[in-house]
Amino acid sequence: MKLLVTGGAGFIGSALIRHWIGQTGNQVVCVDKLTYAGNLDSLESVAGSSRYVFERADVADAAVMSRIMVRHAPDVVVHLAAESHVDRSIEGPGVFIQTNVVGTAALLEAARSYWEALPTQRRKRFRFLHVSTDEVYGDLGPSEPPFTELRAYQPSSPYSASKAASDHLVRAWHRTYGLPVLVSNCSNNYGPFQFPEKLIPLMILNALQGRPLPMYGDGRQSRDWLFVDDHARALIAIVSGGIPGATYNVGGRSERSNRSVIAQVCDLLEELAPAKPRGVQRYEDLLQTVADRPGHDRRYAMDSGKLERDLGWFPKESFESGLRTTVAWYVANRRWWQRVVDGSYRAPELARVAS
């Protein structure tokens, strides 16, 4: 089985590719536009493999994506390329519409053209997995049960609305054209190699640099946390055994408030990085409350029962074990995150060498 992963230099995409190369004997094609969120440093451990190929491309360019598919002949397309940060979508929604909606439509057309030209047996084997988010479902009340795949969509932000639109497009291409699609909706991911605009790496890196730890509002917004390697295993399970047209929720069964997550990060840093920046007595002293963002959902929680029952997937990491692994990785891998902080990870020569 050969994978083509869009957004493969991003956080989840790179985890999937590292897992695919490390745990199987199969090939993978990484496609990435290399926006700010694409980091080829995250693929350094597999870049020398004969089973890995990198293509720098924009998924919104259907002609280019068609050529890439014909050139590499994948059995599975895993579509992860997306703008994904809610705050950025509030500041500038246009790029989210372009990448997440227009880009998905263009990629679907490229995939349909490629799939329709395949021999019969390869057409039967082909899959298109669209990776989405729990945020399309809106937010939950304090006592409501977790989201299931039957939950009605109620997106709150430009980001989640653009992902909801892309989900609908994918399902329409299945219903109208018969394209063998799968959809997954995941909860908040965390782990090594995550870009430091997201909550957990932002808290870790700010603390290590003696900078404030900004917390929105009262910090009681609740999220279900999913370790990224568990998510990678879930995606492989879905493309291997999922039923075309089906949707699978992927969660970590680890619901926590933002406030408690920040407190756990600080506690782990006290243990794993006791030599603090100058002037810092305790990491938790850096906590700083900031104004809540517009339309901020209060609670997400995911019911992964369908994925567990039908495909036998379960998360291997508890939140405590996954968070310890994550904090320890950032403490031990300063070169990776310092190159992100200073911008050198986007050096043009790196992109040229990789492509």
**3-state DSSP call for residue 264?**
helix
List alpha helices for the chain, DSSP H: 11-23, 62-72, 86-91, 94-96, 103-116, 120-125, 158-177, 199-208, 228-241, 258-272, 305-311, 319-332, 334-342, 348-354
Active-site position among 134, 229, 297, 308: 134
- What DSSP character marks residue 98? I
Residue 148 near residue 303 (C-beta atoms within 8 A): yes
Active-site position among 114, 137, 159, 190: 159
Cα–Cα distance, 228 to 190 (Å, whole number): 6
Active-site position among 32, 55, 58, 135: 135
Whether residue 135 lies in the annotated active site? yes
Cα–Cα distance, 66 to 49 (Å, whole number): 24
Kindly report the length of the chain: 355
Structure-token match 């653009």, residue found: 162
Whether residue 159 lies in the annotated active site? yes
Which residues form the catalytic set?
134-135, 159
